[in-house]
Structure 1
Amino acid sequence: MVTYIEHGNIFDLFEISNYAHGCNCAGAMGKGIALQFKDKFPKMYLEYKRRCKEGLFYLGDVFIYNYNNGTVFNLGTQTSWKTKADIVAIESALIKMMSYANQNGILKIALPKIGAGLGGLNWNDVKCVIDKVAQKFPGIDLFVVENYKNISI
């Protein structure tokens, strides 16, 4: 099931410790939600950057990073920070993420509006892909924050 949340912060959602976000395959996390992931998970960022440099992270791929409390899914959605996101890569990465989550008992994943912010795609097109993939995995709940808003107190 997909729950769309109009405003919020994925890191503030109650009882969710698994996160996903769209990444470029060039090793840059300098803007938007990617910068928040870089700051929150510095070891993950170093491994992501190494994989990109060595050509081990590509469009449609998922770099899975397990940390103390959960999992981060880095979805390969853009070739570089200069290019638009790729809708086919988004679908491929989401399928891989959901398959992994299904096999590993991950029931809740929070993610931002992937591919349609800095990625430049039409959000309605991306939502259709998210909905289509999620239907194949009814036991996993996705919580998609459509617009960032820091609501922490």
Structure 2
Amino acid sequence: MAFTMMTGDLFQLGLPAVGHGCNCAGVMGAGVAAEFRRRFPDMYEEYRELCQKGDFQLGDIFVWEAPGVVVYNLATQPIPRPSAALDAIDTSVRAALSDAASRGLARLGVPRIGAGLGGLDWVDVAEVLANAGEESPVELVAVSLPTP
């Protein structure tokens, strides 16, 4: 389908699905993950339990259905430090797109996964996302916050 980039607030765009990169340690304490934790506290608790049991590994996805939106937690880094991995982003984003397609969702919005606190270069991440988006019937939308 397509990969597009836009500027805005991921949560205010009315997208049917949103996703974000997570660590596998059960921590959503900073960046976009902290906002997901704030907005979806029950999701966070279930994610934390999965991590504690070792059931959320690099490349995995944890899907949460909230009213009006499907949330994709993407296992993109092992720990909550700059440690994101391009292969984990690729694997988890493709899994999320596949799941979104099976649900009949038209679009999946993500922030600049792995390029902030994850420590990766956005150009490299954007290439991975573009390749995944082009091969999916679901439009993948990368959303950047406006610069102040």
- TM, length-normalised to structure 1: 0.91
- Partner in structure 2 of residue 145 of structure 1: 143
- Displacement after TM superposition at 1:148 (Å): 5.3
Question: Aligned equivalents of 1:77 and 1:55: distance in 2?
Answer: 15
5+ unaligned residues in a row in structure 1: which ranges?
none
- Displacement after TM superposition at 1:8 (Å): 1.6
Aligned residues: 147
- Partner in structure 2 of residue 8 of structure 1: 8
Alignment check: 8 A CA contact 1:113 1:147 kept: no
The amino acid of 2:144's aligned partner reads E
The amino acid of 1:54's aligned partner reads K
Task: Report the identity percentage.
Answer: 37
Question: Aligned equivalents of 1:73 and 1:9: distance in 2?
Answer: 17
- Displacement after TM superposition at 1:149 (Å): 6.2
- Displacement after TM superposition at 1:68 (Å): 1.9
- TM, length-normalised to structure 2: 0.94
* CA deviation vs aligned residue, 1:61-99 (integer Å, no higher than 9, x gap): 000111121210000000010241010000000111111
The amino acid of 1:117's aligned partner reads G
The ranges of structure 1 where at least 4 consecutive aligned residues each deviate by more than 6 angstroms after the TM superposition are none
5+ unaligned residues in a row in structure 2: which ranges?
none
- Partner in structure 2 of residue 86 of structure 1: 85
- Partner in structure 1 of residue 28 of structure 2: 29
